Structure 1
Amino acid sequence: MAISSALQRLLESNWPIARYVVKGGSMLPLLAEGDRLLLLKTRRVRLGDVIVFRGDRRHYLKRVSALPGQMGMCWGTAIPLDAGEYCVLGDNLAESTDSRQFGPISADRIVGRAILKYFPTIAWIESRSQMSDGNSF
């Protein structure tokens, strides 16, 4: 109970931290429906980071697969990314709606980087340079 109230006070303060509840299975096996995460509110992200960003109608949770200046897979083809553009993919490619369908995202849509899963288990969320199926970005 003390940890929960301390966490609540931290999140209600001016700290650059937010909560997020995972929806869907696009990030399996790393993250599942209902997992609860802490986000570091930042737009500074690296290749392989798991981020939350604003879509047209909802928020998405995906992994950064290409950075500005790199080639990214968008709309079924590799395209060069402009400054401030990122490509994102779900770890579970078969179940993910991502940059392959909606194209690159702009930095101003990034809410933050996932840093910790705190429910139902506790685990740090680390950046990776490979997808869960072994394919490189």
Structure 2
Amino acid sequence: MEEKNKIENKTQKTNSFWELVKYGILALIIVVPFRIFIAQPYIVSGSSMDPTFKDTDYLIVDQLSKRFKEPERGDVLIIKYPKDPSKFFIKRLIGFPGETVTIKDGVVNIYNEENKNAFELNEPYIVYKKIENISVKLGEDEYFVMGDNRAGSSDSRIWGSLPKKYIVGKPILRLLPLNKIDYHPGLLDEK
């Protein structure tokens, strides 16, 4: 009788182990593709997007919608740093392929097919301006991105245009800090 109980216990332990393995594999089959293709976490590092995003804000990034819809001017993007694609940055989209972005005394103007005489970019999110003068003509599949904290951001003004292939996605949720939980954080009401 005791021998039979030992065998049953051993069988139960073996079955429990294989149940655990089965559920672990199932979880990986679901979670890994979700993480790779649909959404991933991102923790803001630094102050380049102050005041919109602060250091250590915890975001969930939508990686899927970029495959079906182009980003819009003013969208906040998670990008790979063109000089070292293993690093990720958070920046705001300013200029599109084929446009010329000029900054004169800290004011951004965009020249494109519809606006041969340029239009001044409305940037209500800017608190920390940097007075500078630059002009950049964007090529095919090139974007111009900048941090909201213009005085403290390394962005397209310094390292040049952003190739489309380095756009990771847009933040869809801010989960931390708890008092700033937000859906589509950084989204502008008016573009």
Normalising by structure 2, what TM-score? Answer: 0.57
Contact 1:73/1:87 (8 A) holds in 2 = no
SS of the counterpart of 2:151? Answer: helix
User: Which residue is equivalent to 1:47?
Assistant: 73
- For structure 2, the residue ranges without an aligned partner over 5 or more in a row are 1-27, 104-131
Largest Rg, 1 or 2 = 2
Q: What's the offset of the Cα at 1:21?
A: 0.3
Q: Cα–Cα, structure 1 residues 34 and 87, in superposed 2: closer, same or farther, change >3 Å?
A: same
* 1:98 paired to 2:155: yes
- Amino acid of the structure 2 residue aligned with 1:128: L
Structure whose residues are more often helix by fraction: 2
TM-score, scaled relative to structure 1: 0.77
The question of whether the paired residues in 2 share the 8 Å contact of 1:47 and 1:128 is answered with: no
| Most deviating of 32-41 and 52-61 | 52-61
Q: CA deviation at 1:129?
A: 8.0
What is the distance in 2 between the residues matched to 1:50 and 1:28?
Answer: 12
Q: Cα distance, 1:73 vs. partner?
A: 4.6
Q: CA RMSD in A?
A: 2.7
Runs of 4+ in 1 over 4 A off after TM superposition: 73-76
Say whether 1:32 aligns with 2:48: no
Aligned to 1:68: 97
| Counterpart code for 2:171 | A
Task: Using the aligned pairs only, state the percent identity.
Answer: 30
CA–CA distance in structure 2, aligned partners of residues 24 and 126 of structure 1 = 16
CA distance in 2, matches of 1:68, 1:114: 22
Deviation at 1:72, TM superposition (A): 2.3
**C-alpha deviation, 1:14, in angstroms:** 3.1
Q: 1:109 to 1:76 in 2, by over 3 A?
A: farther
Name the CA distance, whole Å, in 2 between partners of 1:85 and 1:61. Answer: 17
Deviations 1:27-63 (A, max 9, x none): 0111111000011113631111111111133111100
> Secondary structure of 1:51's match?
strand
Question: Residues of 2 paired with 1:73 and 1:128: CA distance?
Answer: 21
Output the CA distance in 2 between the equivalents of 1:32 and 1:126. 11
Q: CA deviation at 1:79?
A: 2.1
Partners of 2:52 and 2:186 within 8 A in 1: no
After TM superposition, give the deviation of residue 13 of structure 1 in Å. 5.0
**Aligned residue pairs: how many?**
123
